[in-house]
Amino acid sequence: MDDVTQYLEQAKLLVETIIGRLPSDGRERLLMQARTMSNLAGSIAFLSFEVDRNGTKPEFGVPNLIPCRPEVLSPDGTSFGELMVWRDDAGYIDSLEYTWWEGNPPDRLPGVDHLRFS
């Protein structure tokens, strides 16, 4: 597996994990979208992607920011930042934002084992 494919799979896993924590209303439509993610672009702080708009339906009941923002924990267990999944105005998920609280920006996406959901 090349680096681009591996990076896309990691981003997809993070997005699916975040969406999987949503209440059941609309969750399945968003998960169907996440499974079709492709064409990853951008930086570690803001990754954009495309989803299949033909095989999935938009989720209009969810605001632009998916209402689940897990904290990202550093290796020592302290809060380092957070992840946010965004959708476009048509209701399709389209980006993953990674914010950090201080210091240097991260150089890679976190693993799902470094996420804390409240």
Our count of domains for the chain comes to 1
Structure tokens at 84: 């946010």
Q: Which ranges of the chain have pLDDT less than 70?
A: 59-63
pLDDT at 25: 77
pLDDT of residue 99: 96
CA distance 94 to 116: 22
Query: For residue 60, what pLDDT is reported?
Result: 67
- Give pTM, 2 decimals: 0.92
C-alpha dihedral (82, 60, 57, 96), degrees to nearest 10: -20
Per the structure, the complete domain to which residue 79 belongs is given by 3-116
